[in-house]
Structure 1
Amino acid sequence: MQSFLELAEKRQSDRLYDERPVEKEKLERILEAARLSPSACNGQPWKIIVVDDPELKNQIADATSSKALGFNHFTKQAPIHLVIVEESTNFSSKIGGLIKGKHYPDTDLGILASHITLAATDEGLGSCVVGWLNEKKIRKLLKIPASRRVALLILLGYTSSSHRDKVRKPITDVVSYNVY
């Protein structure tokens, strides 16, 4: 375990993976970190589908890339795809969301994705969150009910890319105290 700031500094969106398989023990620890993610009213509105079958993984990858726009072709390289499906949340979270005009599962899935990607980094793996996807195609491939939303895909694997320096706005541009 490293300090959290070191972990946050190392975490990046990796788009180049090598052929090494991910050890089962590492995947299980990442999934446990995901399971422990907090959520509004403990609603836990998610299901994670681990796709590690090479043929199915490539079909899922095809549903995330665009020939016309020329992006996301790297998704076939990653040995594991975690398909994050939004599930129904509990009554308390639904009522709170209605009262406040918020859809709390969106926040919950963001927290889940952070837990997964940071746990992957801690395990020495690369990851990338992919939001551009053909939801209908993925639903069909994985037999996901039409009533469920495929929120995102998270790639996992050993990265072949080097660590990049983070380019971020200065803290004074993103943080203020007591007023906007």
Structure 2
Amino acid sequence: MSKPAPSAKPPLELAVERIAFAAGVAVLMTDPAGRVRVLDFEDYEPRMQRLLRRHYGEHGWTVREAAAPTAARRALEAYFAGDLTAIDGLETATAGTAFQRDIWKALRTIPAGQTASYRDLAQQVGRPAAVRATGAANGANPIGIIVPCHRVIGAGGDLTGYGGGLPRKRWLLEHEGALTG
């Protein structure tokens, strides 16, 4: 007697909202529990699609317009209006490797108005030699701003790559008071 084939996992349903702010339009996706799964930028949508495929598979998600503004949207609007702590309590959920999730968790400990280096993050997660892997995990972060990969700078204090572009990274850091114009 053979076992029945496992049933296919239904795709993750994501509600999408677009939020215009001074540095562009953010694309926010939340799951049915209200957890943030994606926050990227409209002009980087191909990158966002690649990250979705990496995290949930080729057909592992569906998208629908949000019926009403989510708590995450309201928190982001408050953040963009100047309440830099409004996003701190938002619940997120991601796939990714254990190391990536450790880095993303460490990113959330960097307060608004402060920055850290890739080396700082690698040391924080107990992998001081994994500076390059830390950079790669930072670059694979599907939840910009809330998981604040923009707060990571080079060891010498220089602005390094950012999935939303360096001008937007500069804007976010200036908005938070970590850089002055």
Q: Give the TM-score, by structure 2 length.
A: 0.29
- Higher relative contact order at CA 8 Å, sep ≥6: structure 1 or structure 2? 1
| Structure in which a larger fraction of residues adopt helix | 1
Q: Give the TM-score, by structure 1 length.
A: 0.30
